[in-house]
Structure 1
Amino acid sequence: MLAVMVAARYYGTEMDPNEFRRAPGDETPSAQALCQWIQGSGMWARGLRLRWRQLMRLQDTGPLVLLFTDGTAGILTSVNADKSVVFLKDPRAPAGDAAIPVDELRLSQVWTGEVILLRAERGIAESDAPFSLAWLGTLVLQERRSLRDIAIASLTLSFLTIFPPLLVMTVVDKVLTHHSYSTLTLLSVILLIAVVFETIIGHARRLITVVVGTRIDTRLSLHVFNRLLRLPLDYFERNPSGETMHRLTSVYKVRDFLTGKLLTTFLDLITLLVLLPFLFYLNASLSWIVLVCAAAIMLIILAYLRPMRAMFGRVIQSEIERYVVMNETVYGIKTVKSLALEPVRKSLFDAKVADAGKWRLKYGYLGNWPQTLVTPIERFMSIGIILVGALLAMQDNTGYQIGALFAFMMLSMRVAAPLVGLARLIDDYEEVAAAIGEAASVLNRPLESNATHGGLRPKFAGAIHFDDVTFTYSGTKTPALDRLSFAIPPGTMLGVVGRSGSGKSTVTRLLQGINREYSGYIKIDGADLREINLRHLRQSFGVVLQENFLFRGSIRENIISGRPGLTLEDVVRAARLAGAEEFIERMPNGYETFIQEGSPNLSGGQRQRLAIARALITDPRLLILDEATSALDPESEALVNANLARIARGRTMVIVSHRLSSLTDCDQILVLERGRMVDLGPHRVLLERCSLYRQLWQQQNRHADTGSRPAALTPVLGQSGG
């Protein structure tokens, strides 16, 4: 890992060791795992096995990483082919130390040939390229070797398909006419050999086709999921999750097209290239009839493309609306059940289903017409061609051979099927093009790629500085933050208060880099937030929200979800700090207690304390608690607040809360009003000089002055009763 990090610095990339994921069972990092780590950081990488003479050819390639047999690695900095030595550097050596020359004999004692090539990504990375049909084409062409093997196998099988018709023609014209048993025996042997050969090649072709389809499907699925993860958070906040999921499922229509109909048609066209000349050799007139019929089918399909395209767009939109209602109902099923909204949601879903069914029916009616018009042409190609061939045979006075007619009839459908399939492929493409458009509307959104791959990776102490920051959410005109300026030193516990809509949560969103379209400057330890690597920034923060999502899995797995390699001892330490240890130990299986989807077996306070433990497990230098204690019961809140001093030790904390009583121990409290800073100071100071803070405090603590009110009401009630 260290060797990779040193080599990556040569290209200006700082690798984060926390992002490395060791493959299960690997005692030492494998070349594949290291390459995935490098590629995840925005660089190009490939693991190879090279020989000494191949190393000698690597001139001016930049540093390479050689993986040694003892689990360590060295950095190859240069090659001297004249002296037959390579220059290696120990990644643990100081930067100023010179590389050591090593000859083939010494290197072979510790190196078996494994090397990792890496460099900066040139042009647009594959993962950043727009999702389109052209991109899918490049995805398929990555399997060019396998596709070449499939093409060769298909070409061979196409030649083999000529044998049965030739056999029939020879049997009719030679064997039956002349009663030649020797010719029949020879033909039987040839047929047997051809069948065995065809079986073996067909098996191999199907096997390669399955492998190619699986590889394409895997790459496509990984690409879609990676792009989804790199979309900014505000996209998911603006778009319903049901709509997003429905659009992404369109990708699998594209996958089926690529690995199914497109590949099948491609293979059939190879057959066509072989059989069509042979058909013209047998009978040119009948061959032209087959081609004309195929052209007529294609024209019919092309005529219906535009109206079917428009109709299919309506079908897609209605399906999305139906899917959104279903997904929203499932996601909010607790609210539906608690408010008895089943009839309302059922009525809404019924309407969406009816609308989708209406457009699907119209699309089916329209699509039925080209099929109706094409059917008689297809039947003529299969049956009518026999009658025409028989007529031509009877009118032939030059001794037309009946066997040739049988051979043509056997091969004509093998030729007609690819021609019809090609015509239908155009129709299928319209649906696939719509699916690509649906998926592209999600996958081609602006990504966070530049911020996650590049940028600084400083070691944070925790000083925060807002300098004249103004930010406005899209779709609104009123700034959420209006020329906000404040600064706090490292290790400060900062409380943020204000009325609803004052910009409290916006401050934390900007700190996490969720929204980056602001004016002014936000700095952490003097580094501009926009220049910091986004993934490094977020990994340096621990964040606890008002509503926190827990994944399906054990309590231990949830707490260490950000650092899978940590031990149970680390988990217990974080749980104790968050005040979660006492209830976890009462669970039936302790830290291995399984949490179901939606965590129904946990109370709100327990979920919140687990979320705090999850945020603390990484020991972040900066911790954000955004209304983190609002869902807690008084006992749990008191427990978390009692631990705040221990939690805050050695780190900067930003605590957003509408409960001012939980912020009294903060070093500084930022008071916001309509996106502007009203005041900044400790609790006691703000009570004296900040009227807004004093007003909020009195509103929340006015019960302290109303103790005599119920007693004062008693005489009044007594008099009215008399």
Structure 2
Amino acid sequence: MIAAAHFHGIELDPRDYAGNREAAAPSAAALSAWLQDAGLWAKAVRLRWRDLIGLRETGPVVLFLRDGGAALMVGADPARNLVGVKSPDWPAGAEAIAVDQLRLEQVWSGDALLLRSKRARSSAEAPFTLGWLASLVLRERRLLRDIGVASLTLSFLTIFPPLLVMTVVDRVLTHHSYSTLVLLGALLAIATVFETFLGYARRLIVLIVGTRLDAKLNLHVFNRLLRLPLDYFERHPAGETMHKIAQVYKVREFLTGKLLTTFLDLMTLVVLLPFLFFLNPFLAGLVLACSALIMLVILAFLRPMRSSFAEVIFAETEKASVLGETVFGIKTIKSLALEPQRNALWDDRVADVGTSRLAFGKLANWPQTLITPLERFMSIGLVLIGAYMALEDSTGYAVGALFAFMMLSMRVAQPLVALARLIEDYEGVALAIVEAASVLNRPPEADAVSGGLRPRFAGAVSFEDVSFTYAGTRLPALDRVAFEIPAGTMLGIVGRSGSGKSTLTRLLQGINRDYTGSLKIDGNDVREINLRHLRQSFGVVLQENFLFRGSIRDNIIAGRSGLVLSDVVNASRLAGAEEFIERMPNGYESLIEEGSPNLSGGQRQRLAIARALITDPRILILDEATNALDPESEALLNANLLRIASGRTMVIVSHRLSSLVDSDQILVLDNGRAVDIAPHDVLLDRCAIYRQLWSQQNRSQDHQGHIHVAPAFVGSR
């Protein structure tokens, strides 16, 4: 796999493989996902020899062998019926072995993995539009073809009952023919069985299409959400985002529900309209005229209904934002007794939604009011006109034709009216697409999945005149910051609130990339490094850390493959979490509920530190990580810092300067600028800002060197 990817210029790191490492042989699907994550187009397929021999100029093809191994097919010669096969272990310049069908099929399982470089934008990266959704539906063309055939057949069967009624009225009743009645009854029974079977098959296929589209949409939406930059989630309420994403499924219901059903019903017009004109051209013309009038009424109301429905969507989004904010901030609401204020805000949002929906409903009521007389004329008025025409007919055969026409006319009018209403429904769908697209079409993190370098890090960091300004602000968060540290350095970062401490760590992690200047790790510009590789090479502990619902063991491993319980224990011991974990009823298998209510703040923080350490990262960032720790836990972590720092670069952001005195270097920031960088003792002598911060936190110090720490100020980015 690594050799095949290397052919396309992608260097794979076996540590990035997320499949089951304990399996005897990795599955083709897992390997395909790994290659796609690395930036290649990959597809696991099952081939026959004639398919394989036709693969030429495609680059290496991975062939899975019966014994669990793999081989590379590097060429094919259809004229000689041979393929060139190499072992992945052979040197790059080794010659391939020519293998015929008989020899290959003795060892080849038939499974293969096709891969190539991504040249065009994949469907997963295409903008979210109605056209994109329609293309997703059209990929099920085989199933849609089956639905179309079934619908067309049902349309022909629809003609049979009216014809039967016409024959009964005109032939059986007129001539008292019992034999004809029995024959018609038998034909009706056969047609009913056939129609029942086709109807069941059509509904089943529609259900399958809808289920497959749901699965594809869920995967696409979640993937796009994960690829959005952190900056988006920091600036938009979670409730608003969730509400807008939910609009995707309204669009899906429209495509596979009303739209598909209406177009399937319209297929009946191909069969029924000619037959209606055959039965009675005048009445058939009236049906079409009424349908056209209904469509004109709906079209006349589209524009005002569009603007009114936009107000409904806006009100619903605001309501969802309040709900999401309340759920996520329930601890703060309870602790500050803010229930009345949140209730009042919720009442306002509900009232806004009710007002806008009422206005929209009143407006939408007018088209229905104007359409109702036309629909009644189509159902009752045409009967009266047809009856008059039958009375005036002297042949005696117009009564049966009238019955047949009445039975078929509504089957024709129904899809025509539905088509008119479909245009009305589309306005709501168009707004839903705009809402969903406002989230899904945002630019993802650059090269978050495929592009960029994947170097092995040692941990040397250098900033060269780095400046960065947050969107919507004028003052730079970092202003021409310049410093460098060698690999293995313990770097402390201090400064007043708003000095840019957390911003500096965000740039290191690639969260914000639109800075000026040069930021390098081991000589590689951070903007040129693959984001996933960059972040997997870091261990990061924040001031507030989220724990997932599950066991302590699962939270520390965090889904990383290849890690076992001994790794969890070692990381927990380094983080000072081992002692409280072992006191819990089920130890490392103890369940953490959502929101981790059964853990203290210090315990949650120590678990987060263990989670950051378990992969033995070359660079570890502690961003105010000790703030939530009690003095005992903080002392335990500080005692382990030198052990934790062994062999890795550590970047520690802290407002507690006493925890940084053992750092190799301490960077002092002020108003986004790097004021000084030096060890603790040197900074006390030459840096006025550092000396002031130190004196503020250490009001008195006795001759024995005992430090009495005053309440520290709260630092932020």
Shorter-normalised TM-score: what interval? Answer: over 0.9
Normalised TM-score (structure 2): 0.96
Partners in 2 of 1:405 and 1:701 — Cα distance?
101
CA gap 1:15/1:414 in 2 versus in 1, 3 angstroms:
farther
Give the one of 408, 415, 418 matched to 2:415: 418
- Shift of residue 16, structure 1, vs aligned partner: 4.4
Does 1:292 find its partner at 2:325? no
Give the one of 539, 545, 553 matched to 1:548: 545
- Shift of residue 553, structure 1, vs aligned partner: 0.8
Does 1:173 find its partner at 2:170? yes
What CA deviation, in whole Å up to 9, does each residue of 1:478-509 have, x standing for no partner? 11111111111111111001111111111100
What does 1:491-510 correspond to in 2, within 5 Å? Answer: 491-510=488-507
Give the one of 422, 427, 430 matched to 1:430: 427
What CA deviation, in whole Å up to 9, does each residue of 1:180-212 have, x standing for no partner? 122122212211211111122111111111100
What CA deviation, in whole Å up to 9, does each residue of 1:350-398 have, x standing for no partner? 1111111111111111111111111121121112211111111112245
For residue 714 of structure 1, what is the aligned residue in structure 2? none
For residue 311 of structure 2, what is the aligned residue in structure 1? 314
Give the one of 74, 78, 86 matched to 1:89: 86
Give the one of 62, 66, 76 matched to 2:59: 62
For residue 660 of structure 2, what is the aligned residue in structure 1? 663
CA gap 1:473/1:289 in 2 versus in 1, 3 angstroms:
same
Secondary structure (helix, strand or coil) at the match of 1:523 reads strand
The one-letter code of the counterpart of 1:315 is V
Partners in 2 of 1:402 and 1:472 — Cα distance?
83
For residue 554 of structure 2, what is the aligned residue in structure 1? 557
Mark the runs of 5 or more structure 2 residues left unpaired by the alignment: 705-717
For residue 214 of structure 2, what is the aligned residue in structure 1? 217
Mark the runs of 5 or more structure 1 residues left unpaired by the alignment: 708-722
- Shift of residue 322, structure 1, vs aligned partner: 1.3
Give the one of 632, 643, 646 matched to 2:643: 646
Q: Is the 8 A contact 2:18 2:560 kept in 1?
A: no
Secondary structure (helix, strand or coil) at the match of 1:698 reads helix
Partners in 1 of 2:313 and 2:429 — Cα distance?
12
Secondary structure (helix, strand or coil) at the match of 2:456 reads coil
CA gap 1:584/1:389 in 2 versus in 1, 3 angstroms:
same
Give the one of 657, 669, 672 matched to 2:669: 672
Question: Which deviates more, 394-403 or 363-372?
Answer: 394-403
Give the one of 660, 680, 685 matched to 1:683: 680
Partners in 2 of 1:399 and 1:169 — Cα distance?
12
- Shift of residue 39, structure 1, vs aligned partner: 2.7
For residue 142 of structure 1, what is the aligned residue in structure 2? 139
Partners in 2 of 1:547 and 1:451 — Cα distance?
24
For residue 267 of structure 2, what is the aligned residue in structure 1? 270
CA gap 1:19/1:182 in 2 versus in 1, 3 angstroms:
farther
- Shift of residue 18, structure 1, vs aligned partner: 4.3
Give the one of 369, 372, 386 matched to 1:372: 369
Give the one of 489, 505, 508 matched to 1:511: 508
Does 1:251 find its partner at 2:254? no
Partners in 2 of 1:612 and 1:113 — Cα distance?
46
Partners in 2 of 1:359 and 1:703 — Cα distance?
64
Does 1:581 find its partner at 2:585? no
Q: Is the 8 A contact 2:170 2:397 kept in 1?
A: no
RMSD after superposition: 1.6
Partners in 1 of 2:168 and 2:21 — Cα distance?
63
What CA deviation, in whole Å up to 9, does each residue of 1:213-239 have, x standing for no partner? 000111111111110000000011111
Partners in 2 of 1:539 and 1:214 — Cα distance?
34
Does 1:629 find its partner at 2:626? yes
Secondary structure (helix, strand or coil) at the match of 1:620 reads coil
The one-letter code of the counterpart of 1:153 is A
For residue 616 of structure 1, what is the aligned residue in structure 2? 613
CA gap 1:580/1:675 in 2 versus in 1, 3 angstroms:
same
- Shift of residue 23, structure 1, vs aligned partner: 7.0
Give the one of 338, 352, 356 matched to 1:355: 352
| Number of aligned residue pairs | 704
The one-letter code of the counterpart of 2:68 is G
The one-letter code of the counterpart of 1:195 is T
For residue 444 of structure 2, what is the aligned residue in structure 1? 447
CA gap 1:38/1:505 in 2 versus in 1, 3 angstroms:
same
CA gap 1:413/1:449 in 2 versus in 1, 3 angstroms:
farther
- Shift of residue 27, structure 1, vs aligned partner: 4.5
Secondary structure (helix, strand or coil) at the match of 1:665 reads coil
Question: Which deviates more, 394-403 or 407-416?
Answer: 394-403
Partners in 2 of 1:12 and 1:274 — Cα distance?
57
- Shift of residue 685, structure 1, vs aligned partner: 1.2
What CA deviation, in whole Å up to 9, does each residue of 1:675-698 have, x standing for no partner? 111111111111111111111111
What does 1:475-490 correspond to in 2, within 5 Å? Answer: 475-490=472-487
Partners in 2 of 1:455 and 1:407 — Cα distance?
70
- Shift of residue 564, structure 1, vs aligned partner: 4.0
Q: Percent identity?
A: 69
Q: Is the 8 A contact 1:562 1:618 kept in 2?
A: no
What CA deviation, in whole Å up to 9, does each residue of 1:510-558 have, x standing for no partner? 0000000001111111111111101000000000000000011111111
Secondary structure (helix, strand or coil) at the match of 1:88 reads strand
For residue 189 of structure 1, what is the aligned residue in structure 2? 186
What CA deviation, in whole Å up to 9, does each residue of 1:142-162 have, x standing for no partner? 101100010001111111111
What CA deviation, in whole Å up to 9, does each residue of 1:24-74 have, x standing for no partner? 996532222322333333332222222222222212111111111111111
The one-letter code of the counterpart of 1:405 is L
Query: Which runs of structure 1 show a deviation greater than 4 angstroms over 4 or more consecutive aligned residues?
Result: 23-27
- Shift of residue 609, structure 1, vs aligned partner: 0.2
Normalised TM-score (structure 1): 0.95
